[in-house]
Structure 1
């Protein structure tokens, strides 16, 4: 029977699931989605047919056999046509997220007829709730139920996490596999269990096929393990029983086998494919030069009301290690923050897509924030004026205080929905004014723009997309009114002459002509400057004073 102390988190998870389900259709297609959806569909076709042609991404003798049959019937978006660089580099696309996304699509789109893009993402609801449930279990088991509840609520309402939980099939899944591995490994260590070491190895292999971030985990769990051995010197022989030594030796073998067996693309020329995978990790991992970027953006992504408790939790963890109180566990939490951010702060470390690359770091940060909050509350309860209060009033103080802290974050998330990935706290904005110039790099806001056009655009009109056209074209039959024709622009790198290049398209159109574009750092978007000089947008989406999306009526 479920204990009463677990009811608040269960209630919260139900509410979170429902709200996420109701808001998932507010997020458009991102840059990588089409390629990942396509490759996931190819793998699922292979699993169901065992036909090796679905593992072949090459063109042979001028014949392109990479298409999927059901893409051609007009009832399904043609992800292949817009797969982009992933089609040329399938080894760069980790397997687990795309495959689960494809399975989700087969259930919700083919069976229930729901939106094809949303259907690819519905599995994220279960994964995200799984992260939160496992996080609560972890904190409740090793700390207390209050810290578990706070950590769950803080992570779930973190704007960046909330945004990615609706559409990011890679990094949310990486959060789950990383947390699952750490939970199983800690349990194996604490219980000296060969069985759980094997389970942890399985989770590690799953994580390797999900995203390369988990390769950093040995730098986190080995110091944790050594700290446990150090604090239990009298029992050190028990850690080297025959069954445990066998499980230690089997760990890397099992992890690699799971990684290899899950990923059928590696089965053809495995030496070359695995070498290419390793080269990709190192080449992609070290191609930038902003050593302070990762730490700054991580702290900037934590709401200002939560940040003091984050630092309080870090201080408490360091102090506990010094005083040898749960020192191994606190060491693990700190290393889970320091190792990924340290790797990203190395010279030339890649940080090209912001915090999504190290999204799992927010799990220990929110645990530490919850610890910081709980210890602050305990100190508050020791004040004479509050110590005399009855337990019910103390509980009310505890709950109202956390609500007071979360209300600004919740208000921001609602007000800026679905642009949560643009969040930076006011402290970061003061330190770096460029933080106020956030842009919708992934063009997720196009879906909102299309909704506006569906409602207000003239009949039989023409629509052009200024930047990243590929995220709109595959959805013409699903997200756009039948009478609105989407025309591909003739865009050249660095061109500023949209009018001249596309004048004949505009003149030949018998109806209204619209241009929809997001603001972007990319050079292609410079062509919109000419339009801005001549016309005012008829519709804009803004984040603060920064324009995110504009719609112009050209004719």
Structure 2
């Protein structure tokens, strides 16, 4: 065996790993990552030193606004990887070990949070090889490499080098994973450890070695300690275990024993070494201990804290179907095909085709290679079907069941091997007279299969760094997903913000103001911003047009798309910059300034005449405001006779209608707007409208509102015709 053949399992994974490393600065971060960064730092510091705050660490650089900054406004010091004493932006006194964010357990476990902090400590704080945020992300890149490496080794061990290469290509050319290995800090690690655990479990039973089962349990604990997906591992393993054990028993009984209950029991008892049975018994204990000891917040009150974790997963991922499981209505009314559609529309066509072939071939080859195809098929289909049928629920597409990637790739490799052999057989018949060498024929057939990955590799290059918004040709690409209003199209989960920040840093004037249209300050690392930029969502000024930049991700079926802030920017302003993929914007930046106002629009408004009608429905006081004609609304203002009447109206619902028959509730409630947005109206509360054409406004006060609505001073402003 040559050196290349011996280490061929490593070559392709290492190549893609290098690509991931060299492109890490092109990607942003997931919008909830900062919480995990901060939790991990607090836990790691507590575990290593028992310290609960950061009082002994030097401070980070501060801007002129006294916020974290890459350059200190007072000293001029640069806080980057070249600083002598490096600290992370997320070692913050606001989220130290004593904070409710770190002490709370209503959320995901902490194993990967701690590993993120370990990665940051090694590659940023100690070695200074990469900057702060990329140092966290190296953990996801490394675990994705381990995922691909496990797939490569597992497939090579069972189906050879060619299938191994195809499997790795299928892993890394899945656009969602290719992109999100750079910034998704939970799902790729969870999937990697899940896959490693199953590999070592398979290896333990096929090799009859308990040490592999211990390794499997440790990997399973790491997966379970990242997200609870690993709780479904028994359902994946049981069918394979039954098939594999049954085949082994039949083999032994056929050779040595008569088929009696006693013989079956004795053979089952002696089929595996006693150490293996002990390791199997210890397996769930090891998984739990990894989960428990990697989460210091659990330690003071384990029973109550673990209950909170379980309730979190029950609430976000539990079944939502009200019908009895496995009944007709359970199947017909509660089946959700969105995950299947995501699979069909976001998997590259070559991988999808090979996977379908491999699924068929794998069923017929279930007796081979330690029945490994049964394990892979069960791994994939159970993972997808549990979120298709009302067993569990997901809200973020395939990223939340990313463990499916490994079995998909391995099944595809089985399909590729079958097709290669089939093509080679045809070629040998075609070239019968020329008698070419068998290796030459196999090489040609292999190259034909590999060529099928060229289109997706080209697409990954063109979409860089936004590969996670990829849709395949079955739906017409991202453009087709937009036209079909496919749920969540264009969602980069915060990745695209970095591209917007780079544009702002290069093009915004000195001391420019920046706000996010939706989202909060944690979505952006302040160290990625130019030091003079004033970043605050309080800068949004609406119709007052104070010249701030506003940035938003563009996502299909966005729940915020009908809010005033989104509608105002889309309907009244021309964008200053947009990131586009397949012709569709996935991020927009507006400058809220008169020069960007769309042609023909005028923001001048005039008071409108109206009459009021008061009523009480379901214990809630209402007022119906009736204009004398349909007008394009700008604002409804409120003035109160007392502080109590003002405060108690907060949260009141607002409805609008053109004809008084059908009313539509506004996304905002009373007092949802910022001080800058309502400045200049000489009123205590202002409700803003994005120029919609209506004649009727209905205001519904909160229940038990203590004041009469007739005592509220109301004014309605509409745009000039």
Give the superposition deviation at 1:277.
1.9
Q: 1:522 is matched with which residue?
A: 559
Residue deviations 1:205-247, cap 9 Å, x none?
2322122111111111122111112112225342265433333
SS for the counterpart of 2:588 is strand
Q: 2:450 is matched with which residue?
A: 403
Which structure's residues are more often helix, by fraction? 1
Q: Does residue 141 of structure 2 align to residue 125 of structure 1? A: yes
Given the superposition, is the C-alpha separation of residues 175 and 386 from structure 1 closer, same or farther in structure 2, using an over 3 Å criterion? farther
Instruction: Using structure 1 for the length normalisation, give the TM-score.
Output: 0.87
Given the superposition, is the C-alpha separation of residues 375 and 241 from structure 1 closer, same or farther in structure 2, using an over 3 Å criterion? closer
Quote the Cα distance in structure 1 between the aligned partners of 2:419 and 2:55: 57
Given the superposition, is the C-alpha separation of residues 516 and 195 from structure 1 closer, same or farther in structure 2, using an over 3 Å criterion? closer
SS for the counterpart of 2:538 is coil
CA contact (8 A) 1:440 1:519 kept: yes
Residue deviations 1:425-468, cap 9 Å, x none?
12145699223971235221110111122222233322222222
State the number of aligned residues: 524
Give the superposition deviation at 1:79.
6.7
SS for the counterpart of 1:313 is helix
Of residues 312-321 and 291-300 in structure 1, the stretch that sits farther from structure 2 once superposed is 291-300
CA contact (8 A) 1:206 1:259 kept: yes
Q: Does residue 525 of structure 2 align to residue 538 of structure 1? A: no
Residue deviations 1:9-40, cap 9 Å, x none?
54433321221112111221222101111110
For structure 1, the residue ranges without an aligned partner over 5 or more in a row are: 55-65, 492-497
Given the superposition, is the C-alpha separation of residues 204 and 364 from structure 1 closer, same or farther in structure 2, using an over 3 Å criterion? same
SS for the counterpart of 1:258 is helix
> Which of 420, 432, 452 lines up with 2:503 in the alignment?
452
Give the superposition deviation at 1:302.
1.0
Residue deviations 1:105-156, cap 9 Å, x none?
1122223443211111112232222222221111111221111111012211
Residue deviations 1:472-525, cap 9 Å, x none?
55x23x22223332232367xxxxxx524xx3xx54xxxx63222222403277
Q: Looking at CA atoms only, which structure, 1 or 2, has the larger radius of gyration?
A: 2
Residue deviations 1:139-196, cap 9 Å, x none?
1112211111110122112111101211112111112211111111111111222333
Q: Does residue 288 of structure 2 align to residue 256 of structure 1? A: yes
5 Å-filtered alignment, 1:134-145, equals 134-145=150-161
SS for the counterpart of 2:198 is helix
Quote the Cα distance in structure 2 between the aligned partners of 1:535 and 1:161: 35
CA contact (8 A) 2:105 2:305 kept: no
Residue deviations 1:348-377, cap 9 Å, x none?
732211111111101111111111111011
Given the superposition, is the C-alpha separation of residues 47 and 89 from structure 1 closer, same or farther in structure 2, using an over 3 Å criterion? closer
SS for the counterpart of 2:148 is helix
5 Å-filtered alignment, 1:169-188, equals 169-188=185-204
Given the superposition, is the C-alpha separation of residues 8 and 325 from structure 1 closer, same or farther in structure 2, using an over 3 Å criterion? closer
Residue deviations 1:29-69, cap 9 Å, x none?
22210111111011111111124xx4xxxxxxxxxxx7776
Quote the Cα distance in structure 1 between the aligned partners of 2:592 and 2:529: 19
SS for the counterpart of 2:166 is helix
CA contact (8 A) 1:71 1:78 kept: no
Q: Does residue 510 of structure 2 align to residue 463 of structure 1? A: no
Given the superposition, is the C-alpha separation of residues 440 and 109 from structure 1 closer, same or farther in structure 2, using an over 3 Å criterion? same
Q: Does residue 236 of structure 2 align to residue 199 of structure 1? A: no
Instruction: Using structure 2 for the length normalisation, give the TM-score.
Output: 0.68
Q: Does residue 443 of structure 2 align to residue 365 of structure 1? A: no
Higher relative contact order (CA closer than 8 Å, sequence separation 6+): 1
Quote the Cα distance in structure 2 between the aligned partners of 1:468 and 1:374: 47
Q: 1:57 is matched with which residue?
A: none
CA contact (8 A) 2:108 2:309 kept: no
Q: 1:31 is matched with which residue?
A: 31
Quote the Cα distance in structure 2 between the aligned partners of 1:101 and 1:408: 34
Q: Does residue 50 of structure 2 align to residue 14 of structure 1? A: no
5 Å-filtered alignment, 1:301-316, equals 301-316=346-361
Quote the Cα distance in structure 2 between the aligned partners of 1:78 and 1:246: 43
Quote the Cα distance in structure 2 between the aligned partners of 1:282 and 1:223: 25
CA contact (8 A) 2:318 2:391 kept: yes
CA contact (8 A) 2:358 2:416 kept: yes
Of residues 268-277 and 482-491 in structure 1, the stretch that sits farther from structure 2 once superposed is 482-491
Given the superposition, is the C-alpha separation of residues 280 and 210 from structure 1 closer, same or farther in structure 2, using an over 3 Å criterion? same
SS for the counterpart of 2:571 is helix
CA contact (8 A) 1:6 1:145 kept: no
Q: 1:291 is matched with which residue?
A: 336
Q: 2:465 is matched with which residue?
A: 418
SS for the counterpart of 2:495 is coil
Quote the Cα distance in structure 1 between the aligned partners of 2:56 and 2:465: 34
Residue deviations 1:72-127, cap 9 Å, x none?
53354257559999558444132121111111111222234432111111122322
CA contact (8 A) 1:136 1:152 kept: yes
SS for the counterpart of 2:510 is coil
Q: 2:68 is matched with which residue?
A: none
CA contact (8 A) 1:30 1:471 kept: no
Q: 2:491 is matched with which residue?
A: 440
SS for the counterpart of 1:400 is helix
For structure 2, the residue ranges without an aligned partner over 5 or more in a row are: 62-78, 80-87, 253-266, 321-333, 594-721
Given the superposition, is the C-alpha separation of residues 12 and 329 from structure 1 closer, same or farther in structure 2, using an over 3 Å criterion? closer
Quote the Cα distance in structure 2 between the aligned partners of 1:182 and 1:452: 44
Q: 1:42 is matched with which residue?
A: 42
Q: Does residue 60 of structure 2 align to residue 73 of structure 1? A: yes
Of residues 110-119 and 305-314 in structure 1, the stretch that sits farther from structure 2 once superposed is 110-119
SS for the counterpart of 2:121 is helix
